[in-house]
Structure 1
Amino acid sequence: MQAFRRGRRRRWAPPTGPPRVRDRFGPGARVSQRLHPPILRTLGMHKKISLGPWSTPVFRLLAGARRLRGTPFDLFGYARVRWVERDANHGLAVTIAGLPDEVRGYEQVRLDNVTRYRQRLNDLRLELKRSHPVSTP
């Protein structure tokens, strides 16, 4: 379940509380999250699973564990997808870091190189943003 607020992507938003659900949909209404964790895809399961109200504490625990992202304790960071993603972003970062070396020459040659540098920097920034959107906790 993804929620969008002020242009920032969040991993999970708590469901509206049961009283609000009952008021809107009636006394027999139930709240559930439907998701498809990558581990299930790895195990060959290709359908989403429904998680009932019991899953809310689990999601709160995962939301609190976001402080572990990027540390050795980030269990989800060991997935192959994350390694490939980091390698791709590392290559882009190295390319961006090397761009100032292209600004050489005197007067008009240097000004032309600065124009090319700025254009290439903007292109690489867009590519980096597309390949790895920034998510804020």
Structure 2
Amino acid sequence: RAAHDRAAVEKLIAPADDKVVPFARPSKTLDELVAARIEHLTKYQDAALAERYRALVDKVRAAEHKTGETGLALAAARNYAKLLAYKDEYEVARLYSDSAFQAAIKRQFEGDYTIRFHLAPPLLASRDPKTGHLVKHAFGPWMMPVFKVLAKLKGLRGTAFDLFGYTAERRTERALIGEYEALVNELLRELSPANHPLAVKLASLPDEIRGYGHIKDASIEKTRRRQAEMLHQWRNAETLRIAAE
């Protein structure tokens, strides 16, 4: 038998305690949510990334507190963490090489079984001649040692030595982080009780990004269009307010 579904595997290795599940959606306070994301981002990369996350969320929290409203800091805490911890090769390797993965597999399968991973690494995978989409290929259990080595190289993520970082997909994911930071800073400059609901909607847009590969690309394009429309509304409302003063 073969065990190879990545989404199912990630679900299997998630701990039962929802406090440490990276992006589960239980009912949490803002502080609980931030603490869980900081823990995950530290494992995902390092303490510096976690601190970058904390700094932006604290900035949003402080600005929102002045309006007397709630919800924006929570939206930023969820969506900024999602963008920072994009699923790249290092993260996939970290998840698969985690001891929890082996334990989960043993709980689910008995007797003899073979693990096969269906992956489409951008640097290695071929493309479908009709659609141009990356084609997944099956990789055997020999990938486990590779995952362990790759997971230890996560410090290269985003640096000049990150070979995976030069692909279009990874460049887009990094760009989304910068775009979100710029968006939040713009929202905070003119945040008020009147425009707070729209600010929450804008800060929540990354939640609409789904999937991998070409599916994610289409989702990003759609989300960027929605953001442009909503930002037009945001900026025009501010222009009208200034003109009326």
Q: TM-score, normalised by structure 2?
A: 0.39
What is the root-mean-square deviation in Å for CA atoms of aligned residues? 3.1
Residue 66 and residue 129 in structure 1: after superposition, are their counterparts in 2 closer, same or farther (change >3 A)?
farther
Structure 1: give runs of 5+ residues left out of the alignment: 104-113, 133-137
Give the structure with higher Rg (CA): 1
Unaligned runs of 5+ in 2: 1-5, 24-90, 129-133, 211-245
The answer to whether the Cα contact below 8 Å between 1:33 and 1:51 also exists between their aligned partners in 2 is yes
For the residue of structure 2 that corresponds to 1:50, the secondary structure is strand
Superposed displacement of residue 57, structure 1: 0.8
For 1:37, which of 97, 121, 124 is the aligned residue?
Answer: 121
Q: 2:22 aligned with 1:8, yes or no?
A: yes
Moved over 3 A (4+): 14-17, 128-132
The total of aligned residue pairs comes to: 116
CA distance change for structure 1 residues 91 and 48 in 2, over 3 Å: closer, same or farther?
Answer: closer
Shift of 1:58: 0.5
Cα deviations by residue, 1:79-132 (Å, 9 ceiling, x for unpaired): 1122223334423321220223325xxxxxxxxxx1134323322221134449
User: Given that residues 96 and 144 in structure 2 are in contact (C-alpha distance below 8 angstroms), is that contact kept between their aligned partners in structure 1?
Assistant: no
How far apart in 1 are the matches of 2:194 and 2:149?
Answer: 47
**Paired letter, 2:171:** W
Deviation of the 1:32 alpha carbon: 2.3
Instruction: Give the TM-score normalised by the residue count of structure 1.
Output: 0.63
- 1:73-92, aligned counterparts within 5 Å? 73-92=161-180
| CA–CA separation in structure 1 for the residues paired with 2:188 and 2:141 | 53
Answer with 79-88 or 50-59: which moved more. 79-88
